[in-house]
Structure 1
């Protein structure tokens, strides 16, 4: 795996270790330096020289060009080259709040979420669903996690809600019984969101639970005379 820092974040290059027909050396490992050099140069801004190929280009184009430059050496199996490039969100599309480790913070988190989504122009249905997700995730973090607790909203192509706490224990979806008073928070969030997950944070030793929702397509702007 190779990575480089770019203007928009980090570009990662991952590949398999498929061996050649003699089983002596992995084809991508053997050409790793060539692939890394090409990918790094292809991701830099500025006009590309003819010998390098497109830059900056779509990741698929860069992958195709990098593989084509390795030649036609036969391999015993499929070789995979994967590129990923992180993006940087504008500051006005990210909102975060530190929350007290108290039950009252759940209502405050919902109110802050409601105001922020109104500022962003998020539709009422998505905003209401996001409030429910925020309520459940913050409740879980306060009840089962450890302080400090932080809520973050990110508006990009999708709407992402993140709740961080300092406990390393990953939550699990429970199927609560009818008579149970709790235990449905993560199940509800998973049902309401398009995707969700948990990631550990090495700097604090805690975790972040996130949920993602699609945003309705914005109508095209109309010109007025």
Structure 2
């Protein structure tokens, strides 16, 4: 079984950088401090910092120019916003959503048969955090809670092969969760879709949980401009 994952260092670092942008009064087009200075200020390794910057770029909070500093992006999530897909050399974004529908849909159905009171409380806390993040239009917090929901679902599904595939491809799966979040006005849709999966878990409804998860992933793909 997968271990239940705490918030990874890159996500915590991304949250701190997002806060730093606000606290420093940086506006659109302003440069962030260099990576060496940022890593020292935040007390994190350069690899963790680079991953945090990649997360923020996917979420439309910053833009990173090759050989130059990172700059504050518009971040409004208006029409036409696009997130970079950094795994394009290996898999298309459509490939990933199609794979997730198959694996995570079935995993959610299996998890519905394994949940109990303590686990339902954990899922509920995650959904509450997603609602709060969506209400405040905070894509970093939403992305972190989103990943925790899917981590917990896979950890409970009881299928060792699904869990192995998920461990091996987690970074890719989680990145595909972030891509649609560039559309700030639609963050509440993501939160509501996870709440629907939770409702099926509460009812121990295998078919309902599978359908709700598959619907969520297809909707996420649609928000990213894809049909799967």
Q: TM-score range by the shorter chain?
A: under 0.3
Higher relative CO (Cα under 8 Å, sequence separation at least 6) belongs to 2
Larger gyration radius, structure 1 or structure 2: 1
TM-score by length of 1: 0.27
Higher helix share: 2
Higher strand share: 1
